[in-house]
């Protein structure tokens, strides 16, 4: 006789994930019964309702620390913050899909997006190796399919590249997990923090392989080559989602490992390669941006560098560093989603507004859109009146405090390089172009893309004036 070991608290902990899963099943059912004409907005509406429900349910768990499912999923401030980031990314991408989506496939697409977010939220709260891996696979599998789900050259290539390279990274991750399990005899992250593990070679090999897997998913520099190609081929909403949600979810796992799952005193040794790689990413990502003529590729390289900035904040392993990292991540979420929303707003019927050529003269045709794009670019570059600037200052301060001033120096150098690349977008919009490029006719701006641009703008501005640094994100485990 086996009794039910779980109570209400366990189910409440994963309520946001359950809400998303139910919403996606409803989307599928609605897609089966609805006429094609209504299913596009219907599917997105159900998706957005599910996202809102998930966001509310996640917010209800704020500050309520509880290890559900025998430590499989931990709630508390940290989990809530990352769940909300995923929810924001999901809502933004769904809104973009309402503008761009292929009506024939919208049901399955929205459902896949919701499931992927289930995986990302699972990673946000995952405190054992199995939950981490399953969450990551759920997210990645959904993204492989989403990348290829458009009839355009390059989409299938993008999906295939992502599938093959990302599966290899998952292999590394899984092998690392196996060795870590072999070393500790437990799948719980908390058990990895036991001091006797520091002398175990299996622990060192395992954590090395594990970190390689994570570095790939975060697209840090030696493992970054997939990102520009995959971003370029994927549909715009998927690119927007990938650039935010995948990074946030992986950073959540990384932060939990760094802050709560390493034997005392080993963090600076285990993580040293990660900091070096983050430093290289900040330089290489920004240099890579210079040569790009496609907004998606440009933002892919930008994302490589931005993850480096966020990791710089965590480098010391201090609680303050984590708060600043989260602050910068939230600001980055709004900036990046905003830039992709602008790209969606200027997309034509057959061509996405991703090539820099299609921004030529945007300031004359759509002055407000151009102004918003300029603001997002300035924020991504970290110029003074924006949240990006504030975030970088905070990161610099904490990296100097914790003895990683060299990472701070690389951050400053990378920022200087990146200014030119971001300015290229702005220049295209404002300066009159010499050649007469073919510019796709603008469609009337879809309301949802407009709303997303506005909301992201509000988000970035609000972050500037009210530096939202959740103070009780620690403790992460227990």
Partner 1 sequence: MIAFWIVGAIVVASAVWTVTARKPVYSVVGLLINFAALAALYLSLSAEFLAVIQIIVYSGAILILFLFVIALLSSGVAPFAQGPNRLPRIVVPAVAIVAVALVGLVAGINGAAILTPSVSPSGSPLGPVGSAGVFGSVADFGKALFTTHLLPFEVTALILMVAVIGVVMLAGDQTPYVGSSKQAARVERQAREAILRGGDR
Partner 2 sequence: MNPYGPVALYLCVAFAAALLFSVLPGLVARRKPNPEKAEAYECGVEPTSAVAGRFPVRFYLIAMLFVIFDVEAASFYPWAVQMHALRIYGLLEMIVFIIVLGIGYAYVWKKGGFAWR
Q: Taking CB under 8 A as the rule, does residue 103 contact partner 1?
A: no
Q: Taking CB under 8 A as the rule, does residue 292 contact partner 1?
A: no
d(CA 55, CA 88): 8
Kindly state the DSSP code that residue 347 receives in the 8-state scheme: -
d(CA 70, CA 6): 9
Q: 131 is in the binding site of which of partner 2, partner 1, none (Cβ under 5 to 8 A by kind)?
A: partner 1
Q: Taking CB under 8 A as the rule, does residue 21 contact partner 2?
A: yes
Q: Taking CB under 8 A as the rule, does residue 208 contact partner 1?
A: no
Q: In 35-85, at which residue ranges do the beta strands (DSSP E only) sit? A: 66-68, 73-75
Report the residue from 12, 28, 178, 320 that binds partner 2 according to the rule CB under 8 A.
Answer: 28
Burial label for 43, CB within 10 Å (0-12, 13-18, 19+), is: buried
Kindly state the DSSP code that residue 354 receives in the 8-state scheme: T
Residue closer to partner 2, measured from CB, 4 or 471: 4
Q: 29 is in the binding site of which of partner 2, partner 1, none (Cβ under 5 to 8 A by kind)?
A: partner 2
Other beta carbons within 10 angstroms of residue 367's beta carbon come to 11
Question: What is the nearest approach in angstroms of partner 2 to the Cβ of residue 111?
Answer: 9
Q: Taking CB under 8 A as the rule, does residue 72 contact partner 1?
A: yes
Burial label for 168, CB within 10 Å (0-12, 13-18, 19+), is: middle
Q: 368 is in the binding site of which of partner 1, partner 2, none (Cβ under 5 to 8 A by kind)?
A: none
Report the residue from 9, 29, 59, 458 that binds partner 2 according to the rule CB under 8 A.
Answer: 29
Q: SS3 of 73, please?
A: strand
Residue closer to partner 1, measured from CB, 119 or 176: 119
Expressed in angstroms, the distance from the first to the final Cα of the chain is 29
Name the nearest CA neighbour of 220 among 247, 260, 190.
Answer: 247
Is the torsion defined by CA of 361, 362, 366, 367 positive or negative?
negative
Report the residue from 34, 52, 65, 200 that binds partner 1 according to the rule CB under 8 A.
Answer: 200
Q: Taking CB under 8 A as the rule, does residue 7 contact partner 2?
A: no
Q: Taking CB under 8 A as the rule, does residue 445 contact partner 2?
A: no
Residues that bind partner 1 (CB under 8 A): 2, 5-6, 14, 21, 28, 68-70, 72-73, 104-105, 108-109, 111-112, 115-116, 118-119, 122, 130-131, 134-135, 137-138, 141-142, 144-145, 148-149, 153, 156-157, 159, 182-183, 185-186, 200-202, 205
């Amino acid at each position: 006789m086996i009794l039910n070991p779980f109570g209400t608290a366990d189910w409440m902990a994963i309520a946001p994930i359950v809400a998303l899963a139910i919403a996606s099943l409803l989307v599928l059912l609605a897609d089966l019964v609805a006429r094609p004409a209504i299913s596009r907005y219907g599917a997105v509406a159900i998706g957005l309702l599910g996202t809102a429900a998930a966001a509310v349910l996640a917010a209800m768990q704020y500050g309520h620390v509880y290890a559900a499912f025998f430590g499989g999923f931990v709630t508390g401030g940290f989990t809530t913050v990352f769940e909300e980031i995923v929810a924001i990314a999901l809502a933004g991408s769904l809104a973009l899909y309402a503008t761009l989506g292929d009506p024939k496939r919208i049901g399955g697409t929205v459902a896949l997006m919701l499931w992927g977010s289930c995986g990302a939220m699972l990673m946000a709260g995952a405190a054992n190796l199995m939950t981490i891996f399953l969450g990551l696979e759920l997210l990645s599998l959904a993204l492989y399919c989403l990348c290829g789900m458009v009839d355009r050259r390059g989409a299938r290539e993008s999906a295939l590249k992502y599938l093959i390279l990302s599966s290899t990274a998952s292999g590394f991750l899984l092998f690392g997990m196996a060795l870590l399990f072999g070393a500790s005899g437990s799948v719980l992250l908390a058990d990895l923090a036991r001091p006797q593990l520091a002398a175990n070679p299996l622990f060192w090999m395992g954590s090395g392989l594990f970190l390689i897997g994570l570095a790939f998913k975060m697209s840090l520099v030696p493992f970054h080559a997939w990102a520009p190609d995959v971003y370029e081929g994927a549909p715009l909403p998927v690119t927007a989602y990938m650039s935010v949600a995948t990074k946030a979810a992986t950073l959540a796992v990384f932060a939990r490992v760094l802050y709560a799952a390493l034997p005392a005193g080993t963090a600076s040794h285990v993580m040293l390669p990660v900091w070096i790689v983050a430093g290289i990413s900040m330089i290489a990502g920004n240099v890579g941006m210079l040569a790009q003529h496609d907004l998606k590729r440009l933002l892919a390289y930008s994302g490589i560098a931005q993850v480096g900035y966020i990791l710089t904040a965590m480098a010391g392993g201090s609680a303050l560093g984590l708060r600043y990292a989260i602050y910068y991540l939230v600001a980055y979420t709004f900036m990046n989603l905003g830039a992709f929303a602008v790209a969606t707003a200027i997309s034509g019927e057959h061509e996405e507004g991703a090539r820099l050529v299609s921004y030529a003269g945007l300031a004359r045709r759509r002055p407000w859109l151009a102004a918003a794009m300029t603001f997002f670019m300035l924020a991504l570059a970290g110029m003074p009146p924006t949240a990006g600037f504030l975030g970088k200052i905070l990161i610099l301060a904490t990296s100097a405090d914790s003895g990683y001033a060299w990472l701070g120096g690389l951050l400053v150098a990378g920022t200087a390089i990146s200014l030119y690349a971001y300015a290229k977008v702005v220049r295209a919009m404002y300066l009159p172009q010499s050649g007469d490029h073919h510019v796709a006719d603008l469609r009337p701006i879809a309301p949802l893309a407009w709303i997303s641009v506005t909301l992201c703008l509000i988000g970035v501005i609000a972050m500037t004036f009210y530096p939202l640094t959740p103070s009780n994100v620690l403790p992460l485990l227990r």
